[in-house]
Each structure stands twice: as structure tokens, then as C-alpha cells.
């Protein structure tokens, strides 16, 4: 599909004409010529007398005048463009923010459900362990009554052994109808709560010197390396969970 354009008109991909900007080219030519002339004068100038010094002062004023005139033209040209850009932003951003807010609301509900489901899973596991421990205790008592104390001790030791830590499931369900999956993501965040302690740790080489700029990305890197919530060398380490799609 082709579109007929007026002779000399140029457009960008979205169809917005840039012809008005091209009209600025002739208006800028006098300023380019003045800049070239002043550059040549500046290269030839020799300040070796009071009169030459005074002419140098005039030269500075001429440079300022040209700069201010060009600046006035720039503002007069760019101002309406900026205002128009703000107007466009005002049309789009409020609607985009509605999508963001309703999305965040849904993510909060989904995360709440995920946490509740995880709590139910852990409670079910706890009940199973309690039942297994009770059964082991009963079996150990029977063995002890039968005089087999070694077997009873072995059963009790096995029942009291620490249960290996299991990572909670990070995803519920598979891909959605758009082919994307939603999962819980952990983010470790660090914030400065005791600046002097942080500085002492930096001087002692216990924290990277890049933390002196207090940049969040550097603070988060330390938080990820620690991965334990609490205060660490003047930094508050926190784990934040949220939903992400991929």
C-alpha cells in the first residue's frame, strides 16, 4: 500500500510530518554564517594592546548576543513541541496506569493465593511428620517393652532426625493461554540504616567500595550475597516476593 505525498514532504514511520522542522534550516543559516565569521575572527585575534583588549570585550558581547538570539529561537520552536508532547502523554499515561494498577491488584491476589497454598502444603507435611513421629514412638515403645532397646533407640533417632529443607514450589500451573507462565520471584533488597557502620565496613574491606555512592543496584548485590533477612554491617537486608511472567 502506498500513500501519495505532496512534493518535498517527508514523513517518519508513524506518519507524522517533519516538514515544519525542515523550515528551520533557512532560519539557522544566518547563525551558522555568524558563527563561522566569529570563529575566523577569534583565530586571528591578538590581544596585545588596550584597544585590542576592548575589541575583545566587544567580541564577547557579540558571541553572547548571537547565542541568546539562537536560544530564543530554539525555545520558541521547541516550546510548543514540548507542550504538545505533554498533551500526548496526558492522553496515554492515565489509561496505561489503569492497566498497571489492575495488573498489580491481580498479582497481589495471586500472590496471596500462592502463599496460602504454600501454607496449606507445609501444614499437611507437618501433620504427616507428626503422625510418622507418633507411629515411630509407638513402635519404639513396643521394641523397648520386648527388650530390644537397640532397635528402639534406632527408631527414635531416625524419627527425631532433622527433615531436609525443601524449596517451596515457585510456580502454580503451567503456561497460560498466551504461552506465558507466572511464577513467584524473590528479590533481595538492601538499604542503608546505619551509615557509619557501612563506612567502617567499607574501610575494613568487608563491603565493596562501590557502596560509597549508595546506589540501589550495589546495595541489592550485597543483599543477594547475604540472603539472610536482618541487619548486616549497617545494611537492612530484606527479601521481597512478587509475581513475574515469562
- 241 and 183 Cβ atoms separated by less than 8 Å: no
Domain ranges, ordered by start, for the chain: 19-87, 182-245
3-state secondary structure of 155: helix
In this prediction, residue 13 carries a pLDDT of 40
Query: What pairing do the DSSP bridges indicate for beta strands 182-192 and 230-232?
Result: unpaired
In this prediction, residue 43 carries a pLDDT of 93
**What pTM value is reported for the model?**
0.51
In this prediction, residue 168 carries a pLDDT of 52
| Binned average pLDDT, 10 residues per bin, the chain of 246 residues | 37 48 85 95 92 91 95 88 89 93 87 84 82 78 78 68 52 66 80 87 85 86 87 88 74
- 206 and 213 Cβ atoms separated by less than 8 Å: no
Rounded CA gap, 46 and 122, in Å? Answer: 86
Amino acid at each position: 500500500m502506498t500513500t501519495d505525498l505532496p512534493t518535498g514532504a517527508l514523513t517518519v514511520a508513524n506518519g507524522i510530518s517533519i516538514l515544519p522542522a525542515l523550515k528551520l534550516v533557512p532560519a539557522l543559516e544566518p547563525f551558522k554564517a555568524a558563527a563561522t565569521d566569529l570563529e575566523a575572527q577569534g583565530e586571528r585575534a591578538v590581544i596585545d594592546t588596550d584597544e585590542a583588549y576592548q575589541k575583545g570585550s566587544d567580541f564577547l558581547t557579540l558571541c553572547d548576543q548571537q547565542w541568546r538570539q539562537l536560544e530564543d529561537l530554539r525555545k520558541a520552536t521547541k516550546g510548543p513541541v514540548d507542550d504538545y508532547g505533554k498533551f500526548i502523554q496526558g492522553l496515554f499515561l492515565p489509561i496505561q496506569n489503569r492497566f498497571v494498577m489492575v495488573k498489580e491488584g491481580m498479582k497481589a491476589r495471586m500472590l496471596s493465593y500462592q502463599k496460602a497454598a504454600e501454607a496449606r502444603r507445609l501444614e499437611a507435611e507437618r501433620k504427616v511428620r507428626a503422625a510418622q513421629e507418633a507411629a515411630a514412638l509407638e513402635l519404639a515403645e513396643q521394641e523397648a517393652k520386648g527388650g530390644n532397646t537397640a532397635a528402639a533407640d534406632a527408631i527414635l533417632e531416625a524419627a527425631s532426625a532433622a527433615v531436609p529443607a525443601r524449596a517451596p514450589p515457585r510456580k502454580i500451573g503451567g503456561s497460560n493461554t498466551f504461552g506465558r507462565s507466572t511464577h513467584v520471584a524473590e528479590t533481595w533488597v538492601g538499604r542503608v540504616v546505619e551509615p557509619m557502620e557501612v563506612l567502617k565496613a567499607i574501610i575494613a574491606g568487608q563491603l565493596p567500595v562501590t557502596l560509597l555512592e549508595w546506589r540501589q543496584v550495589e546495595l541489592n548485590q550485597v543483599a543477594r550475597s547475604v540472603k539472610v533477612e536482618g541487619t548486616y554491617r549497617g545494611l537492612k537486608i530484606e527479601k521481597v516476593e512478587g509475581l513475574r511472567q515469562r
